Amino acid sequence: MSSQDVALVRRQAARARALALTTVSTAGTGHIGADLSAMDILCSLYFSVLRGGPEDPDRDRFILSKAHASAAMYSVLALKGILPEAELSTFGGADSRLSTVVSTRVPGIEFNTGSLGHGLSLGAGAALAARVQGSGRRTFVLTGDGELQEGSNWEAAMLAASRKLSSLVVVVDRNLAQKGASTEDINALEPLEDKWRSFGWGVRTVDGHDVEALLDVFHGAPLEESRPTCVIASTVKGKGVSFMERNLEWHSRRLTPDLLDQALRELEHGIDA
Amino acid sequence: MASTPDCATAFSAALLELARTDERICIVNNDSAETHSALGFQSELPDRFVDVGIAEQNLVGVAIGMANAGLRPFVYSASCFMASRALEQIKNAAYTNANVVFCGFVSGLAYGALGGTHHAVEDLAWMRAIPRMTVLAPATPVDTVAALREALTHDGPVYIRIVSKLDTPELFPADHGFAYGGSEQLREGEDVTLVGTGLLTSRLVEAADLLAADGVRAGVLHLGSVQPIDAEAIGRAAARTGRLVVAEDHVLNGGLGGAVAETVVRTHPVPVLQIGVPNEYAPIGPAEFLYEHFGLTPQGIAKRVREWLA
Ligand SMILES: Cc1ncc(C[n+]2csc(CCOP(=O)(O)OP(=O)(O)O)c2C)c(N)n1
């Protein structure tokens, strides 16, 4: 990883945040809190880590299990040149390709996710396929934290460790929030590091908005030899917009033009968090 | 014709009202209290409100466990996640004859642009295939509350397909009772009978009005009880009008159209026109766009019927 990469990722993350905010505001629908929570992780992966474009059969695989962060995902794909930026304005609209949870209608999307808890099994399968084909490609799965309440995740976690899938990395967007409340109040995940470790994974917790830390762990994976890697990324739902940060209402609230302006101004000047 | 509150809101308000005096009533839900208007229940009766988080198989299993102790759990979830993800648990609820009410919210295409993961258009077929499962699809807020009262007194599992996010005009008086295994003849007609359930019933009533303007006398039959189904009423309609049209926001395989067709071949074979979601995934777009796309609007239905009768 180079310092140029860090600067590039930061720059692109700022641009992608603005695109995502504009996208959900124009559409009057979406999950902006989840988008902003995941944005630095997505940009770190797309602008420094993942190898190979959508047409390359040996590309690294990325699976957005928390598929409702779709405006973030499409914004990143637009900045990568995989999706025309102008198309973002069709998000959720009649006959658009841009479903409001990601789908394979959109170039660059590998799977139809959106029903939570599917991504890690898909990722384990993708990693097994890479092994069968003798490829060194890697597989990254981004999951929500509330999403980890789905039992299928733990079935896949067990399998990935027992098959020593060291090319598999799961990133947990640990914003502590799910839809209605904190994960710890609904169905507690802690001690989360211990859970993954006891399932046989190498685990590290990082600041999910610290690009340097993210690149460091992604480029360095696997953390432990012969083990899959779990990165618990501590994040803030709504990161970058003061009135959204840590406010559960912004899971899926409508962003009016006035509030959009305010949000974009904050992004430009940076906020005192 | 009042259009507020909608079916889901009316259902949740009525359930809270009933739960104030019936201490067996509980809600088990999957991080969806606000979406399904259960925040009032959660704050007023927190001891009988269980949020298992995002975990639908657990959701249904927990409810069955609670029913075993004599409680009356209502499983609250978007129907797309509950009916599919936890289908085996639901089947076992029926096998066990557990008194669990499965509340499938945001049914049909109401989730619009979220796409195929969120559309619940296979649930009638899945639920109908399960022995002992009662399947209800009420049409309006009053009908939905009536279905709730029926489910609460029923012995065994009940699946209620609930209309959320889309308005339905009220068709029934406030004291309307739900006809378990029965039906509602909403319009009389000699030329054809339009048969529907859930969201589509009120659209069929409007379609019948449109057809009447063209001189087509269409009857409308509401089958809010999909299982058991009112075979007698279907047979009567078939005998009287000689043709049936079934409309549903559901795939054509195994839904209400399937149920009606199975019934008429046994009792009084007549041609049946099925209007619904063909064997394909919906495009992306807002819910009403999708309903138009599949011709599931009063205008769309009237057009198909006119073409069919011509
Ligand atoms: C199987 C399933 N159940 C429920 C939902 C509804 N839902 C969409 S987003 C969400 C909350 C997700 O929380 P989390 O995983 O923590 O992600 P975050 O939005 O906080 O990043 C829920 C419950 C769903 N999409 N899939």
Please tell me what DSSP assigns to residue A137: -
Decide which of A253 and A147 is more confident. A147
Whole-number pLDDT of residue A272: 46
Does any domain span residue B217?
A: yes
Q: Does B108 map to a domain?
A: yes
When the pLDDT of each residue in chain A is averaged and rounded to a whole number, the result is: 96
With a cut of 80, say whether residue A186 has pLDDT above it: yes
Residues B129, B217: one domain? Answer: no
Residue range B240-266: average pLDDT?
Answer: 98
Pair type for strands B134-136 and B158-161: parallel
Q: Where are the domains of chain A?
A: 3-272
Q: Give the model's pLDDT for residue A269.
A: 83
The CA distance from A213 to the nearest CA of chain B, in Å, is 29
Q: Is the pLDDT at B302 greater than 90, yes or no?
A: yes
* pLDDT score recorded for residue B3: 45
B55: nearest CB among A97, A101, A149: A149
| pLDDT over 70 at B1, yes or no | no
Mean pLDDT of B9-24: 98
Kindly report the CA angle at A131 between A125 and A132, in degrees rounded to 5? Answer: 85
* Structural domain boundaries, residue B72: 7-161
| Interface size between A and B, measured as CB pairs under 8 A | 95
Q: Is A97 in contact with A106 (CB distance < 8 Å)?
A: yes
Whether residue B277 is contained in a domain is answered as: yes
Q: How many domains does chain B have?
A: 2
Same structural domain, B156 and B189: no
Residues A51-101: tens digit of each pLDDT: 999 999 999 999 999 999 999 999 999 999 999 999 999 999 999 999 999
Residues B227 and B260 in one domain: yes
pLDDT of residue B4: 63
For residues B301 and B201, state if they share a domain. Answer: yes
* Segment B117-164, tens digit of pLDDT: 999 999 999 999 999 999 999 999 999 999 999 999 999 999 999 999
Boundary (domain end) residue, out of B106, B126, B161: B161
Quick one: tokens of A209? 């908005």
Q: Kindly give the pairing relationship between strand B49-51 and strand B158-161.
A: unpaired
What is this structure's pTM? 0.97
Asked if residue B112 and residue B188 are part of one domain, the reply reads no
pLDDT at A252 (0 to 100):
87
- What was the pLDDT predicted at B46? 98
* pLDDT above 80 for A172: yes
> Which residues 6+ apart lie within 8 Å of B288 measured at CB?
B112, B166
Which domain CATH number covers B219? 3.40.50.920
Based on the fold, state whether residues B49 and B140 are members of the same structural domain: yes
Residue at which a domain ends, from B161, B194, B210: B161
- Confidence class of residue B5 from pLDDT cuts 50, 70 and 90? confident
Q: Which of A92, A105, A186 sits opposite B53 (nearest CB)?
A: A186
Which residues partner with A64 through β-bridges? A142
The one-letter code for the residue type at A107 is P
Between A58 and B3, whose confidence is greater?
Answer: A58
Contacts of B156 (CB under 8 A, 6+ apart): B94, B97, B98, B99, B132, B133, B134
Q: Do B31 and A180 meet the contact criterion of CB atoms below 8 Å apart?
A: yes
pLDDT for the residue numbered A273: 38
Least Cα distance to B220 among B241, B169, B3 occurs for B241
Q: Which two tokens stand for residue B283?
A: 């495009």
User: Is residue A236 predicted with pLDDT exceeding 80?
Assistant: yes
Degrees to nearest 5, angle at CA B118 with B171 and B19: 55
Pick the CATH number of A3-272 from 3.40.50.1100, 3.40.50.970, 3.40.47.10, 3.30.450.20: 3.40.50.970
- Cα(B230) to ligand 1 centroid in Å equals 39
pLDDT (tens digit, 9 = 90+) per residue, B62-95? 999 999 999 999 999 999 999 999 999 999 999 9
- Give the residue from B161, B194, B216 where a domain finishes: B161
Tell whether B1 is covered by a domain: no
pLDDT digits (tens, 9 = 90+) for B177-221: 998 999 999 999 999 999 999 999 999 999 999 999 999 999 999
Helix axes A211-220, A32-44, angle to 10 degrees: 60
Give the strand order in the sheet containing B25-29.
B49-51, B25-29, B72-78, B101-105, B158-161, B134-136, B225-227
Which of B54, B85, B106, B122 to mutate against chain A (most A CBs within 10 Å)? Answer: B54
Q: In angstroms, rounded to a whole number, what is the distance separating the alpha carbons of residues A254 and B52?
A: 27
Q: Does the residue B207 lie in any domain?
A: yes
Does B299 lie in the same domain as B203? Answer: yes
The backbone region for A7, taken as left when phi is positive above 0, alpha when psi lies in -120 to 50, beta otherwise, is alpha
Same domain, yes or no: B154 and B191: no
Chain B environment of A115 (Cβ under 8 Å): 80-81, 84-85, 117-118
Q: Parallel, antiparallel, or unpaired: how do β-strands B272-277 and B225-227 relate? A: unpaired
Beta-carbon separation of A101 and B115 below 8 A: yes
Using the beta-carbon criterion (under 8 Å), do B54 and A98 form an inter-chain contact? no
A143 CA → ligand 1 middle, Å = 10
CB B304 within 8 A of CB B275: yes
CB contacts of B85 in chain A (<8 Å) are 115
CA A96 vs. chain centroid, Å, equals 22
